[in-house]
Amino acid sequence: MSEYKQSIIVRCDLKLSRGKLAAQVAHAAVTASDLAGVDAAGEWKRGGQKKIVLQVPDLEDLIELQQTAKQEHIPAALIVDAGYTEIPAGTVTALGIGPAPEEKINKITKNLKLV
């Protein structure tokens, strides 16, 4: 069986600080992992929680990727920031995809750049 992996995708147009970006990525990791369910999440955790952080230019691309994940039946969680610092409340910051088998994740994220 394929290894389980999670991809977390962030908008690079938001110009977040390192700490704020990391918090958004962490939020996406926790939420998408819950969404994937205990079997997928358990498999992923036992394998060492393989994850990668990628970027898209803006909100439109992030939403498009969410739709693609939906079509491919891969769990995907869109993160909306509460907006206490740096950005307005309600800003969509990140998308967590998976954990899911690595080849399914790669299929829809292979053209994205690393952060």
CA dihedral 38, 40, 46, 47 (to 10 degrees): -160
Work out whether 100 is an interface residue with its own copies (CB under 8 A): no
Beta bridge partners of 97: 7, 76
> Contact at 8 Å (CB) between 34 and 41?
yes
Beta bridge partners of 100: 5
Work out whether 83 is an interface residue with its own copies (CB under 8 A): no
Work out whether 68 is an interface residue with its own copies (CB under 8 A): no
Closer to its own copies by CB, 15 or 70: give it: 15
Closer to its own copies by CB, 1 or 114: give it: 114
Closest distance to its own copies from the beta carbon of 39 (Å): 15
Hey, what amino acid is at 11?
Answer: R
Positions touching its own copies (CB under 8 A) are 8, 10, 17-23, 25-31, 33-34, 45, 48-49, 51-54, 82, 114-115
